[in-house]
Amino acid sequence: MSTFQAPKGTYDLLPPRSATFLAVREAISGPLRNSGYGYVETPGFENVELFSRGVGESTDIVSKEMYTLTTKGGDQLALRPEGTASVLRAALQGNLHKAGLLPVKLWYSGSYYRYERQQAGRYRHFSQVGAEAIGSEDPALDAELIILADQAYRTLGLRNFRVLLNSLGDKECRPVYREALQTFLRGLDLDAETVRRAEINPLRVLDDKREEVQKQLVGAPMLRDYLCDACKAYHEEVRALVTAAGVAFEDDEKLVRGLDYYTRTTFEFVHDGLGSQSAVGGGGRYDGLSEMIGGPSLPSVGWALGVDRTVLALEAEGVTLDIPAATSVFGVALGEEARRVLFGKVTELRRAGIAADFAFGGKGLKGAMKDANRSGARFAAVLGERDLAEGVVQLKDMQSGEQGPVALTDLVDVLRSRLA
C-alpha cells in the first residue's frame, strides 16, 4: 500500500485504461485538425482576475470552486477552472488577431481544476479538449463547431447523446429580458445566496438544479420572447445550417450554462446514461469576452468536451474502442551475447518505426514469453545462443502460434513486410 494517495476528487490515469483516454482525445481533436484549427497550450495557472472578470463573479466556478494561491511575490493566481479565458488571453497576448486571418481557430487539450463535491462524473481535476474560433461573428462558425463535436462523438461510436440548443440574446435584447426576469424572481421565496445571484446574473437562476427552485420558475418569462430581430435571424441560421448537416438537436429554452460570458448561441451535449452529471460537453458564442479581459472587440465561439465524461459515456453504452497494441514486436533473448545482439536489433526496429519492446530483467524463456503475451505484441523475436551461431532469430506469430527462423540481417525488412 502506497504511503501517499492521489488527492481527494482526483484520479490517476494508468494503462490499460489510459489508452482509452488518449484515443478519445485523438478522436475529438481529429475533426478540428482537419478543419483549420491550430494547437494552443496555456499555463496551468493564470491571474485570478482573468477568470473573475471573464467567467463571472456570480458563477459557482469563481465564487466557490476556484483553487487560488498567492505567490511569494504577492501575485494572486488561480489554477485554471476552464479553458476559454486562457486561450483568448493567449491569442490576444500573441497578437494572433492582428495577423490578418480571422477567425483565429485554435484547439487545445489539458487538465482543469475545480473544488467540487466529488461524485461520479464530477472530479476536482478533469481533462477536456476544446476549440475556439476567435474574431468573427458568423452563424456558420457556430454551426461548424456543433457539427465537428457531433462528428467526433459519432466517430467514437457514441449514439445515445443529445444536442441541446438555445440563444441567450445579445447586449441589445438581453438587458430587457434580464430586467423582466429579475422582476419575476423578486416575487419568489428564494434563499439569500440565490437572491444575490439573481441580482448579479439572473439567468444563472434558471440553471439551478434544485427541485424547490425549479418548481417556482414555472411561468418565468422566456428569453425567446425577448430576442431582437437580429438575434432571432442569427439563431435561425445556426439551426438551419446544423439541420442541413444532418445533426439532430433539441431546442432548450432554459439552457444558459454556468459561465457569464455567453451570448447568442449556447449548446450542450448530454448523455442520458450518466445520471445527474449528464453533460459531456458544451459551449457557445462569447462576443464580449475579449473586451471583458481588456482586449478589442473580437466576437468568438467555442466549446469544450470532457474527456472523462466521454469515457464514462462510452462505458455506459458498452462501446469498446479498437485500440491497437502499443507493441508490435517483443524481443526475447537467451544468453548474454544473444541479449546484446537482440537489444541492438530492437533498437534498430524502433528506428525503423516499428513498435518494439524487450524482455528486461534476465528472465528465463517461460517468464519472458509471458511478458511477450501480456504486451499484446503481434510477433515475438526469440534469440538463443544456437540461433546466434546460425545467424537467425526465431520469429513467432503470437496470434497463430506459427514460428520459424528469419535471418538476423533480414529481420527489420521481414517484420516491416508482415506488419504492413
Q: pLDDT: is 208 or 226 the higher one?
A: 226
Q: Alpha carbon 414 to chain centroid distance?
A: 39
Q: Does residue 9 belong to any structural domain of this protein?
A: no
Whether 67 and 21 share a structural domain: yes
Measured CA to CA, the distance from residue 382 to residue 329 in angstroms comes to: 10
Measured CA to CA, the distance from residue 369 to residue 293 in angstroms comes to: 59
Q: Is the pLDDT of residue 194 over 90?
A: no
Q: What pLDDT, in 10s, does the model give residues 18-55?
A: 999 999 999 999 999 999 999 999 999 999 999 888 77
Measured CA to CA, the distance from residue 359 to residue 197 in angstroms comes to: 61
pLDDT band at 259 (very low <50, low <70, confident <90, very high): low
- 302 burial via Cβ count (<10 Å: 0-12, 13-18, 19+): buried
Q: pLDDT: is 241 or 99 the higher one?
A: 241
CATH number of the domain to which 68 belongs: 3.30.930.10
Whether 258 and 395 share a structural domain: no
Q: Which residue has cell 427541485? A: 211
Q: Alpha carbon 37 to chain centroid distance?
A: 15
Radius of gyration in angstroms for the set of CA atoms belonging to the chain, rounded to a whole number: 27
The pLDDT of residue 258 is 59
Whether 400 and 350 share a structural domain: yes
Report the length, in residues, of the chain: 420
Q: Is the dihedral of CA 247, 253, 255, 260 positive or negative?
A: positive
Q: Is the pLDDT of residue 187 over 80?
A: yes
Q: What percent of the chain has pLDDT over 70?
A: 97
Q: Which residue has cell 501517499? A: 4
Q: Is the pLDDT of residue 176 over 60?
A: yes
Q: Does residue 156 belong to any structural domain of this protein?
A: yes
* Of residues 38, 37, 39, 228, the one with CA closest to residue 144: 37
Q: What pLDDT, in 10s, does the model give residues 303-360?
A: 999 999 999 999 999 999 999 888 999 999 999 999 999 999 999 999 999 999 999 9
Q: Is the pLDDT of residue 71 over 80?
A: yes
Set of cell numbers at residue 194: 440565490
Number of domains in the chain: 2
Q: What pLDDT, in 10s, does the model give residues 119-137?
A: 776 889 999 999 999 999 9
The pLDDT of residue 2 is 61
CATH number of the domain to which 357 belongs: 3.40.50.800
Q: Does residue 204 belong to any structural domain of this protein?
A: no
Q: Does residue 215 belong to any structural domain of this protein?
A: no
Whether 57 and 133 share a structural domain: yes
Task: Tell how strand 250-251 and strand 356-358 pair up.
Answer: unpaired
Whether 335 and 275 share a structural domain: no
Question: What is the mean pLDDT of the segment spanning 82-105?
Answer: 94
Whether 307 and 348 share a structural domain: no
> Which residue segment(s) compose the domain that 41 sits in?
17-173+227-317
0.85 surpassed by pTM: yes
Q: What mean pLDDT, rounded, does the chain reach?
A: 92
- The per-type count for the chain, helices as H runs and strands as E runs, is 16, 16
Q: Does residue 10 belong to any structural domain of this protein?
A: no
Q: What pLDDT, in 10s, does the model give residues 351-385?
A: 999 999 999 998 899 999 999 999 999 999 999 99
The pLDDT of residue 222 is 87
Q: Is the pLDDT of residue 189 over 90?
A: no
Residue that finishes a domain, picked among 253, 283, 317: 317
Q: Does residue 295 belong to any structural domain of this protein?
A: yes
Whether 284 and 402 share a structural domain: no
The pLDDT of residue 339 is 95
Q: Is the pLDDT of residue 1 over 60?
A: no
Whether 271 and 413 share a structural domain: no
Whether 238 and 113 share a structural domain: yes
Residue that finishes a domain, picked among 317, 345, 375: 317
Q: Is the pLDDT of residue 257 over 80?
A: no
Whether 344 and 266 share a structural domain: no
Measured CA to CA, the distance from residue 287 to residue 301 in angstroms comes to: 7
Residue that finishes a domain, picked among 317, 350, 385: 317
Q: Does residue 221 belong to any structural domain of this protein?
A: no
pLDDT band at 59 (very low <50, low <70, confident <90, very high): low
pLDDT band at 102 (very low <50, low <70, confident <90, very high): very high
Q: Does residue 151 belong to any structural domain of this protein?
A: yes
The pLDDT of residue 58 is 59
